[in-house]
A and B are shown apart, each in its own frame.
Chain A
Amino acid sequence: MNVVFPNRILPYLLLAPSILLVLVFFIYPAAQSVELSLYRVNRVRDAKIYVGLENFERLYESDSYRNSLTVSAKFTAAVVVAALSISLALAVGASQPIKGFGLYRTLLIWTYALSPAIAGVIWALLTDPAIGILTDLLEKFGFVFNWRRSKDHALIFVIMAATWKILGYNILFFLAGLKNIPRDVIDAAALDGANAWTRFWRMTLPLLTPVVLFLLIMNTLYASFETFGLIDVTTQGGPGRATDLLIYRLYLDGFRSSSRIGLASAQSIVLLVIVATLTLFQYRFINRRTFYQ
């Protein structure tokens, strides 16, 4: 510890704004989420009745919430697996020490700057029934793609758009991780006769495990929360409830129907449990990652 300056009050003054903001905008509202989840709150918000775990029971019995749990699980699993494997392959390809590959590295990370909402409108364009070039292409192979009508197509559509958007972020982190792997370790394996395939599975991937675990958590959080904008500008949870993710259901119950504050708060608590599990996993396996968003 490099303690240097003797001031006694100053450090607390420097930390005060952060502490105050955390208490006011994080701890207090989170505590209220817990409290509200145990109440039934009426439409004009002047009365609330303590109902214990009734909101959680209602969630458990609700078909729409169970549907959202299933949809979120499928969506998140698909996005995480697709995004991690595609971006890892691209990053390994682009990280090779070949002349001119620096350009590919820049050209592969740009989707990091893109928002999920804009990724959504761009994929809506690609798959538009009238002018979408991807729909045209699929039709040539005898496949009619219409995410506005078909539930399965809608889920595939949001998975593709969400995966595409996160590629840049993942590639950026994989490239940074690959840069840290000492070149001579890989070269030594190559001299020992290990081919590229073996080198990847036996050397590169194990050395990248911390980055993979970190991205696994970040992509899960991304698929669970940040994709809200993508859903809202394209499918809005439909057709039917085929793309009604947990975060979208929370928005609908919390802000689109005024009598469901308690129910929405219970949903927040379910999300808190999910985030807490992920975060504990993160601290258990990857101690010192700092980059979060």
Chain B
Amino acid sequence: MNAATTETQVIYAARWRRRLYPVIMHLVMLTAVLLVTFPLIYAIILSTQSSHPGSLRPGSAFVDNLEDAWDRGSIALLIRNTLIVALGVAIGKIILSILGAFALIYFRVRGGMAILALIMLTHLLPLPVRIVPTYELLTDIGWVDTFKGLTIPFFASATGLLLFQQFFRTVPTDLADAARVDGAGPFRFLVSILIPVSRTNIGALFLIEFVYMWNQYLWPLIVANSERTRQVQIGIKLLVATDSVIEWGTLMAGALTVIIPPLVVLLVLQNSLMSGMTASTEDF
């Protein structure tokens, strides 16, 4: 092999890296994105069809299907119910875990390790592990089919506590010392300094909890059995189950509306989650 051919090869290789490679990668990724998104696109197309569904051509029945889904599935009411639960739990968890982490980091707490271990135990005990007794407890205290029963059992959060505890450790001690010198009490410090600098973590936790609660299925299926408290995911099940023949247009129109709120939250807060996670992966 002589020098000229090697040189040509090197030039070709460089050109490939600079021009052709990005083009090919764009094609590959475009195909991948299309494949991953195709089921959703097909669902959107189906939600516009009425009489002879199944083709790839969009129809004009979207509004009819949507009205049908909202009428038969009471989707508007269920969205309201689910918003109450998802917002309630997300906010409740954020408040409780900030207060808990604040106590553990900025005060002398005797038995702090034991308390932390107790709260960490929740990681070992997901709902399925205690579902029958928890349901019986709710029956005994009259919380079945109430928003209290759908939210309060979820307020305790090892995830949130750890997240904020880890973050508070990275907040410079000078800030708290300065606050104390200025005569600010603990709550002043919490509200006017600590919470504002925790924005990213609050956003990340809000995203995780909102999406988790919005998509919950098993607990609402057991606990929220009337329309007063019924959650959207169960509404989707009822749209599937009401007829012997599934009306795909209606079902897809209903399902698409239900996806929108968590999708909006994801789009708005995805950067918070990314940087919140990046911060917490630095310990690896």
Contacts and interface: CB of A to CB of B under 8 A. Distances in A.
Contacts of A30: 125, 129-130, 133
Interface in B83-141: 96-97, 99-100, 102-109, 115, 118-119, 121-137
Nearest to B22: A98
B16 interface: no
A289 B131 CA distance: 26
B169 A2 contact: yes
Interface stretch (A14-22, A47-55, A138-146, A197-205): A14-22
Interface size bracket, A side: 35 or more
A287 B46 contact: no
A118 B134 contact: no
A90 B277 contact: no
Main SS class of interface, B: helix
B211 A113 contact: yes
B132 A2 contact: no
B236 interface: yes
Contact of B233 (A117, A123, A293): A117
Contacts of B36: 90, 107-108, 111, 164, 167
B265 interface: yes
B236 A11 contact: no
B131 A232 contact: no
Interface of A: 1-5, 7-8, 10-12, 14-15, 17-19, 21-30, 32-33, 36, 90, 93-94, 96, 98-101, 104, 106-118, 121-126, 128, 130-133, 164, 167, 172-173, 175-177, 179-180, 210-211, 221, 225, 228-229, 232-233, 247, 250-251, 254-255, 261, 264-265, 268-269, 271-272, 275-276, 279, 287-293
Given A98-B26, A108-B33, A255-B132, 16 more contacts: A2-B173, A3-B106, A15-B115, A18-B96, A21-B96, A90-B36, A104-B30, A109-B270, A112-B266, A122-B40, A176-B277, A176-B281, A228-B218, A229-B233, A289-B280, A293-B209
Interface of B: 22, 25-26, 28-30, 32-33, 36-37, 39-40, 42-43, 46, 53-54, 56, 96-97, 99-100, 102-109, 115, 118-119, 121-137, 152-153, 155-159, 161-163, 166, 169, 173, 176-177, 180, 185-186, 189, 204, 208-209, 211-212, 214-215, 217-218, 221-222, 233, 236-237, 240, 246, 248, 251-252, 255, 258-259, 262-263, 265-267, 270, 273-274, 277-278, 280-284
